Amino acid sequence: MTSVCQPLVRVQAGDFDLATETRRLTDGRRDVGAIVSFTGLCRNDGGRLEALELEHYPGMAEAEIGRIADEAAQRWPLTGLTVIHRFGRIAPGENIVLVVAASAHRRAAFEAADFLMDYLKSRAPFWKKEHAAGETEAGWVEAKDRDQEDMKRWKR
């Protein structure tokens, strides 16, 4: 399937606004029938987590996320696609990631957003450290087997 959209990918330290990003994909458009968004938040893990710290290589992270966003735009008939991933120190309750997929029909938007989140969770070039409450040393977060399993759904 060929898409008419050019994905927007941003890797940034600052927060994002879902309403602003949604308007960017819909203002003046009459061909959008569905918007699916996913916002990932930092959780406190039952009070244990003080902050999550995400590191990346500038340029490399954007290029790799852009590559997978382009793949999504080729796989599904999207009218728009935005992927924003934050880096730096993020406190519980703050936004980490946003995926907004727009399409004429809901299924394409749902599947594209799901595909992108599975990719971001399993393969995006970010390194995460957890800052536990009351501890001075941060610990690196290991990849989860579940995230790798989820990616298998998208093999062609």
Q: How is residue 115 written in tokens? A: 């595909």
- pTM of this prediction? 0.90
pLDDT in tens, 71-123: 999 999 999 999 999 999 999 999 999 999 999 999 999 999 999 999 998 88
| Beta strand segments in the chain, E | 8-12, 34-41, 49-56, 78-86, 88-90, 95-103, 126-132, 139-140
Rounded CA-CA distance 64/82 in Å is 14
What pLDDT score was predicted for residue 75?
Answer: 96
pLDDT in tens, 54-75: 999 999 999 999 999 999 999 9
Q: How is residue 12 written in tokens? A: 């940034």
